Amino acid sequence: MTFLSSLDAKDRKLLLWCVGIAIGLAVLSGFLLPSGNSNSNPMPSTYLSGRHGARAAFEMLLRAGYPVERWEHPLGELAGNAGPETVVIFAQPFTTESSDIKAVRQILERGGRVLATGFWGGFILPLGASEASEELRFAACKLDAEGLDPLSGSGEVWMVPEAGWRVGNPAYRVQYSCAGQPAVVEYDWQKGHVVWWASSTPLENASISRDHNLDLLLNSLGPRDGHKFYWDESLHGEVRSEWSYAGGAALTSLNIGLAALALLVIFSFSRRSGPVRDLPLPPRATPIEFLEALGSLYRNAGAASAAVAVAWDRFRRFSLQLCGRRVQKLSAAELAAVIRRRFPTMGAALEADLAACEEAAWGESANPRQALKLVQTLHAHREQLAAMAGQGGPARQAVRVTPQERVG
Cα(202)–Cα(188) distance, integer angstroms: 22
Instruction: Note the pLDDT of residue 236.
Output: 82
Q: Are strands 192-197 and 181-189 parallel, antiparallel or unpaired?
A: antiparallel
CB 164, CB 132: distance < 8 Å? yes
CA 253-254-257 angle, to 5 degrees, is 85
Specify the pTM.
0.53
Cα(222)–Cα(336) distance, integer angstroms: 137
Beta bridge partners of residue 117, listed in sequence order: 197
Cα(65)–Cα(62) distance, integer angstroms: 5
Beta bridge partners of residue 192, listed in sequence order: 189
210: left (phi over 0), alpha (psi -120 to 50) or beta: beta
Q: What is the mean pLDDT of residues 348-365?
A: 84
Q: What does the pLDDT look like over 236-245, one tens digit per residue?
A: 865 444 455 4
Q: Which of 152-156, 237-241, 344-348 has the highest mean pLDDT?
A: 152-156
Cα(334)–Cα(130) distance, integer angstroms: 136
The residues spanned by each domain of the chain are 55-246, 287-407
Instruction: Note the pLDDT of residue 406.
Output: 39
CA 250-58-247 angle, to 5 degrees, is 15
Contacts of residue 131, Cβ cutoff 8 Å, sequence gap at least 6: 119, 163, 164, 165, 166
Among 64-73, 206-215, 386-395, which stretch is predicted with the lowest mean pLDDT?
386-395
Q: What is the CATH number assigned to the segment(s) 55-246? A: 3.40.50.880
Residue 137 pLDDT > 70: no
Cα(151)–Cα(254) distance, integer angstroms: 50
